[in-house]
Amino acid sequence: MQEILKVMNVTKNFGGLTALDDVNVTLKDKEILGLIGPNGAGKTTLINVIVGFYRPEKGKVFFNGEDITDSPPHTKAFKGVARTFQLTKPFSNISVFDNVMIGALLRTNSLSAAREKTMKSLERTGLKEVSGVISKGLPTGVKKRLEIARVLAMEPKVLCLDEVLTGLTPVEMDEILDLIRSLRKDEGLSIMIVEHVVKALMKGADRIVVLSSGKVIAEGPPKSVAKNPLVKEVYLGRS
Amino acid sequence: MKLEKGVRFLLLLSLLIVILVIPLLPLPLYVFHVIIILFFNAYLCTAWVIVGGFAKQVSLGHSTFVGIGAYSIGVLLSLFNLTPILGGIVGVLMTVCVALTLGYPCFRFGVRGPYFTFATMALAEVMYYVVVSLRGITGGALGIFIPPGVISSLLLLNKKIVSYYIIVVMFFFALFLARKIQHSKFGYYLTAIREDEDAAEACGVDILKYKLVALSLSAALTALGGAFYAIYYSYITPDGVLGLAVSFQIATMSLAGGAKFWFGPAVGALLITPFTETVRSMLGGRFVGVPMLLYGVLLLIVARAAPDGVSGFISSFLGRSESAGNTESYERH
């Protein structure tokens, strides 16, 4: 499989704190990659570096072989690298429909074309019934779906999902995982899921990368990662 | 609550006829003046709302743009005998330059929310004192007088009536533009910026570009308003077109009317102008701070009672979830 996204030797500091320390991660074409790690491991920082909200002190990010390290987020979004936010960031005072419209307008200037894309995306994510609701008052589960709907309307190639499963009920979690898998199958998306609900990813991901204190400590298929003593130590402590 | 097409057309037609006929009515001169000022305010507010409302980059520096528009005409006329039409064009271009000079560093380096507002306030104040101190060019605190001959050669016939039609056309142009913007990609992107800049950026919105375009457009329209002021009053003073009071007036009217809506500022101007003009005529030249005080009180009331302004209040009362501004799109579904 071809590599679509490559993070090479990335280091990111915040003052004296090293959030990412020489991190290497690759995402292959049409792969679902799980990125796990305890709180403060640098997972969200890595997403922020990939999509351009942060610039790393060292290292590069490549998308389809092109160096995109210094591109701003909106340029990366247009190239096809999109993200959702851990703390959902809906456009609060507008309807669910209009939220998705803003995503859909990325690849078209025509409102009617964007409306069609929006409808498709809403149907896909099961949000059609709430399309007219102002997004401020939505429950968490629906807001997470909205994040996905908005980002889908942008027709990305690489999707970075930042803790879309956290805070959901087990049933909702399964639904979202099914949705994610169908996105890979139907749209051919390559997906990076950041999560600290490890169990969910064991089922959903092809491969898992474990971050701890800004370093990659394990990488491989879910089963082998789960057995890795280093990973157990990070999550459960030394026995 | 959607009116039928025919009814809507008739309503608009009758409104248009009323607006066209007003100058022919035997109105007292003062009332006619207030009506002109009403359209002038509605125009300025509609121009303001493109950046201050749609994108929520609340500017209190718009008096600078009014001022540059007005003073370019006055100064270029008195120094170089340049016709007001060319003076107005120079004013608009200069205003766009000033807007970009202020906007680029602010928007590029993340000066957001209240901090942007402070920056625009500083611009308004600085410009006021610059104009007052450059007495040789601007006439200082006394201002510039535009000789009546120049105006009459420009407006031919009756100055007031022609001015009226000019400002009416300008107003409807601005209104049309605001509506067009709100129902376009540009409008959606400004809404995204208004709601959450990070999320907008993640959705692929080039926030720097869109903010600058909105600010420049708004500033250019405002400068055109300033040019109208110069021609209508034929007397420009720093207190009339510059300083925070003018900025506050524009912002208050827009916010009270509903700054998320293309028609909101016009509603605000319609409601507040008669009120402020009455207060002004009652007080005469005394207590110059009173209008500012009233704007402050009014803003407090709006913020408490109807944060989306009168328009937001009415539309939520009618049960239309129009708080998006551009929501027309989903109503069709």
Task: State how far the Cα of A147 lies from the Cα of A162, in Å rounded to an integer.
Answer: 10
Contacts of residue B237, Cβ cutoff 8 Å, sequence gap at least 6 = B141, B142, B143
What value does the mean pLDDT take over residues B164-192? 95
Most confident of A109-113, A138-142, A210-214, B9-13: A109-113
Task: State how far the Cα of A134 lies from the Cα of A91, in Å rounded to an integer.
Answer: 9
Select the more confidently predicted residue: A215 or B325: A215
Beta carbons of B76 and B161 less than 8 angstroms apart: no
Q: What is the pLDDT of residue A100?
A: 95
Instruction: Report residue A25's pLDDT band, with 50, 70 and 90 as the boundaries.
Output: very high
Beta carbons of B117 and B52 less than 8 angstroms apart: no
Phi-psi region of A221 (alpha: psi -120 to 50; beta: other; left: phi over 0): beta
What value does the mean pLDDT take over residues B160-184? 93
ipTM, two decimals: 0.90
Beta carbons of A157 and A4 less than 8 angstroms apart: yes
**Tokens in use for A211?**
């971050």
pLDDT tens figures, A74-83? 999 999 999 9
Residue count of chain A:
239
> Pairing relation of β-strands B235-236 and B144-145?
antiparallel
Nearest to A154 among B203, B326, B333 (CB): B203
What number of CA atoms fall less than 13 Å from residue B235's CA on the CB side?
3
Contacts of residue B242, Cβ cutoff 8 Å, sequence gap at least 6 = B63, B64, B66, B67, B124, B127, B128, B131
Q: Is the pLDDT of residue A158 over 70?
A: yes
Q: Which of A16-20, B134-138, B307-311 has the lowest mean pLDDT?
A: B307-311
Select the more confidently predicted residue: B67 or B147: B67
Q: What pairs with residue A18 in β-bridges?
A: A13
- What percent of chain A lies above the pLDDT cut of 90? 58
Residue A95 phi/psi, 5-degree rounding, is -70, 160
Mean pLDDT (chain B, rounded): 87
Nearest Cα residue to B206 out of A74, A82, A101, A102: A74
Instruction: Report residue B224's pLDDT band, with 50, 70 and 90 as the boundaries.
Output: very high
Which residues in chain A have Cβ-Cβ distances shorter than 8 Å to B203? 74, 77, 102-103, 106, 150, 154
Q: What pairs with residue A210 in β-bridges?
A: A36, A218
pLDDT tens figures, B27-54? 888 899 999 999 999 999 999 999 999 9
Cβ distance B196 to A93 less than 8 Å, yes or no, reads no
The three-point CA angle B242-B130-B251 to 5° equals 25
If one counts every other C-beta atom within 10 angstroms of the C-beta of residue A119, the result is 17
SS in 3 state form for A174-223? HHHHHHHHHHHHHHCCEEEEEECCHHHHHHHCCEEEEEECCEEEEEECHH
Instruction: Report residue B331's pLDDT band, with 50, 70 and 90 as the boundaries.
Output: very low
Q: What is the pLDDT of residue A231?
A: 83
Residue count of chain B:
333
What value does the mean pLDDT take over residues B182-204? 94
Where do the DSSP E strands lie in A16-156? Answer: 17-28, 32-36, 58-63, 66-67, 81-83
pLDDT tens figures, B229-266? 998 988 899 988 998 889 999 999 999 898 888 999 99
pLDDT tens figures, B273-329? 888 888 878 877 677 677 778 888 888 888 788 888 888 877 776 655 444 455 544
Q: What pairs with residue B145 in β-bridges?
A: B235
Question: B-contacting residues of A 47-66, CB under 8 Å?
Answer: 51, 53
pLDDT tens figures, A164-185? 888 888 888 888 888 999 998 8
pLDDT tens figures, B61-91? 999 999 999 999 999 988 898 888 899 999 9
Nearest Cα residue to A66 out of A57, A75, A53: A75
Secondary structure percentages of chain A, helix, strand, coil, to 5: 40, 25, 30
Q: What is the rounded radius of gyration, in angstroms, for the C-alpha atoms of chain A?
A: 18
| Nearest C-alpha in A relative to B324 | A94
Residues A137, A140, A141, A142: is their CA dihedral positive or negative? positive
Select the more confidently predicted residue: B331 or B27: B27
Instruction: Report residue B330's pLDDT band, with 50, 70 and 90 as the boundaries.
Output: very low
| Nearest C-alpha in A relative to B198 | A89
Residues B313, B318, B319, B323: is their CA dihedral positive or negative? negative
**Exposure of A168 by Cβ count < 10 A (0-12 exposed, 13-18 middle, 19+ buried)?**
buried
Q: What is the pLDDT of residue B326?
A: 57
Task: State how far the Cα of B315 lies from the Cα of B333, in Å rounded to an integer.
Answer: 19
Nearest to A77 among B188, B203, B260 (CB): B203
Q: Does A74 touch chain B (CB under 8 A)?
A: yes
The DSSP-derived string for A19-39 is EEEEEEEEEETT-EEEEE-ST
Contacts of residue A112, Cβ cutoff 8 Å, sequence gap at least 6 = none
Q: Please state at what angle helix A96-104 crosses helix B185-195, rounded to 10 degrees.
A: 120
**Tokens in use for A175?**
């639904």
Which residues in chain B have Cβ-Cβ distances shorter than 8 Å to A156? none
Q: Which of A31-40, A223-232, B112-121 has the lowest mean pLDDT?
A: A223-232
Cβ distance A91 to B329 less than 8 Å, yes or no, reads no
Beta carbons of A194 and A44 less than 8 angstroms apart: yes
Give the minimum alpha-carbon distance from B249 to chain A in angstroms, rounded to a whole number. 26
Name all domains of chain B by residue range, CATH numbers in brackets.
Answer: 30-283+292-309 (1.10.3470)
Beta carbons of B277 and B37 less than 8 angstroms apart: yes
